[in-house]
């Protein structure tokens, strides 16, 4: 048995301050194109104000998630980080939200498919949008 590591990067553009983007189709397609039958896929956001999560894809639930995040850390609070923003973005709320979310998810690959449950999808969560370009890193550890 041998192992190899395959990597890929997805580009994501966002249009709203908080946005949930389904990556499932693109990630599944890449795994299939790789021809890997078994392994572990890690999907990672290299951004401190964008995260990766697995949850259910249902429009009303996604709106509930966005509303909950907005209430958890409102953008208009007098956060200390916003007094001297690094890139002129008043985004302390996005950094605080990131404390409660994952920067990455690892998903088993079996028989060439992502091992997600019937209701599960893989999402990119923008917490500081809109952003013209965000990255999502894919690392697939293939067992052959």
pTM: 0.95
Q: Domain count for the chain, please give it.
A: 1
Q: Is residue 67 part of a domain?
A: yes
pLDDT the model gives residue 135 = 98
Q: How far apart are CA 142 and CA 126, in angstroms?
A: 29
Q: Is residue 103 part of a domain?
A: yes
Quick one: average pLDDT of 51-60? 98
pLDDT band at 125 (very low <50, low <70, confident <90, very high): very high
Decide if pLDDT at 116 tops 90.
yes
pLDDT tens per residue across span 100-109: 999 999 999 9
pLDDT tens per residue across span 58-83: 999 999 999 999 999 999 999 999 99
Q: Is residue 113 part of a domain?
A: yes
Q: Are 6 and 34 in contact (CB under 8 A)?
A: yes
Q: Are 137 and 46 in contact (CB under 8 A)?
A: yes
Q: Is residue 53 part of a domain?
A: yes
Measured between alpha carbons, how far is residue 124 from residues 18, 52, 111 in Å? 10, 5, 25
Locus of tokens 């973005």: 89
The residue range of the domain holding 22 is 3-78+88-143
Tokens in use for 19? 């946005």
Decide if pLDDT at 144 tops 90.
no
Q: Is residue 83 part of a domain?
A: no
Q: Is residue 92 part of a domain?
A: yes
pLDDT band at 2 (very low <50, low <70, confident <90, very high): very high
pLDDT tens per residue across span 4-48: 999 999 999 999 999 999 999 999 999 999 999 999 999 999 999
Q: Which of 111, 116, 105, 101 is nearest to 138 (CA)?
A: 105
User: Biggest alpha carbon distance in the chain?
Assistant: 56
Beta strands in 80-131 (DSSP E): 104-110, 113-114, 120-126
The CATH number of the domain holding residue 117 is: 2.60.120.460
Decide if pLDDT at 1 tops 90.
no
Q: How far apart are CA 13 and CA 56, in angstroms?
A: 21
pLDDT the model gives residue 92 = 98
Q: Is residue 105 part of a domain?
A: yes
| CA end-to-end span of the chain | 6
What strand order describes the sheet that includes 134-143?
Answer: 3-12, 134-143, 38-44, 104-110, 113-114
């Amino acid at each position: 048995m041998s192992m190899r590591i395959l990597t890929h990067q997805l580009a994501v553009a966002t249009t709203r301050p908080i946005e949930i983007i389904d990556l499932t189709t693109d990630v599944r397609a890449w795994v299939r194109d790789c021809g890997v039958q078994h392994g572990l896929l890690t999907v990672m956001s290299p951004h401190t104000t964008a995260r990766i999560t697995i949850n259910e894809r249902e429009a009303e639930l996604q709106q509930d998630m966005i509303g909950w995040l907005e209430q958890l850390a409102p953008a208009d609070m007098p956060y200390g980080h916003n007094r001297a923003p690094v890139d002129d973005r008043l985004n302390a709320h996005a950094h605080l939200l990131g404390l409660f979310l994952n920067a990455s998810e690892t998903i088993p690959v079996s028989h060439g498919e992502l091992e997600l449950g019937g209701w599960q999808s893989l999402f990119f969560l923008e917490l500081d949008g809109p952003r013209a370009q965000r990255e999502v890193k894919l690392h697939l550890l293939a067992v052959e």
